[in-house]
Amino acid sequence: MLPSSFALRPILPAICATLLALPAWADDLPPGLASARLLPGWTDEAGRRVLALELDLEPGWKTYWRSPGDSGLPPDFDWTRSANLARVHLHWPAPDAIDSGDAREMGYRDRLVLPLTAEAADPADPMRIAVDIDLGLCENICVPAHLTLDAPAPGAAPDPAILTALKAEPKRLDALPRCDVTPIADGVRVAMHPPVKGVELAAIELTGRPEIWVSGADLNDTPDGPEAVVEMVGPTAAPFDLDRSRLRLTMVTADGAVETQGCAAD
């Protein structure tokens, strides 16, 4: 983890936003991607469209999970080119641990199938799904990439690849982990105790607060058991009040991934 005095942390979100605003490559696909498309998916019994973003990465390349860690570029989805679209829910498969120098980040190698559930504003009218995606792609260095994708018509039956990816989404646990929140010079330090054993990789997110930078999680052994620790820095680079109910802990184990929402004070 970077020390709390690291001066660049409060401006990292702005740096990432600037990088993501750069124009796309002139070629159809940016470096690192062999293919990118929206899988057509199907329409479920509730009338929702189930489809997926599919990225095939070149050997040695990776892309980031929704909360990438200290220095990764989080993906951003813009659905404004769609029509009759009320909302989209992303079903993120459990990420892999990716070592980047001294930092451990969370992301995907080889192939990513990211399922999406789309709901129509008016179920009686057809829905058009189109998305512009800004994301980071990394080999030895990380570069911003831009994709413009349109969904084909839905298929008649569920896609096995999408079903497999849905099963890899972290399962929600009802248990509340214990947590400790303490102020630091430029934000807050959050320590959470995983309620499951065998955690190999963990992430802590502050949902609904995209302006808050969150470090990658360190997994430490303590007399009270393992704990996941992050530091959070806001735009003012000062301690701030934190709503514990917004803390989401994702844990990857050998048996799959689980997550919790909220925590109980130590």
The CATH number of whichever domain residue 202 belongs to comes to 2.60.40
Phi, psi of 167 (to 5 degrees): -70, -20
Considering the domain architecture, whether residues 184 and 130 belong to the same structural domain is answered as: no
Domain boundary among 108, 143, 167: 167
| Three-class secondary structure of residue 207 per DSSP | coil
Q: Which residues of the chain have pLDDT under 70?
A: 1-27, 71, 99-104
The contacts of residue 174 (CB under 8 Å, 6+ apart) are none
**Same domain membership, residue 121 and residue 18:** yes
The verdict on 18 and 149 lying in the same domain is yes
- 4 part of a folded domain: no
Strands 49-57 and 33-43: antiparallel
Which of 145, 167, 189 lies at the terminal end of a domain, its last residue? 167
Q: Domain for residue 3, yes or no?
A: no
Res 11: pLDDT: 44
CA-wise closest residue to 256 among 146, 165, 177, 149: 165
Residues 50 and 109 in one domain: yes
pLDDT tens by residue, 5-31: 334 444 444 444 433 333 333 347 888
Q: What is the pLDDT of residue 100?
A: 66
| Token reading at 128 | 């058009």
Rg (CA), the chain: 19
How does pLDDT run across 219-238, given as a tens digit for each residue?
Answer: 988 887 889 999 999 999 99
Position 228 scores a pLDDT of 94
| Domain span at 85 | 9-167
pLDDT at 16: 44
Total structural domains within the chain: 2
Q: Is 145 in the same domain as 242?
A: no
pLDDT of residue 71: 67
> Are 91 and 121 found together in one domain?
yes
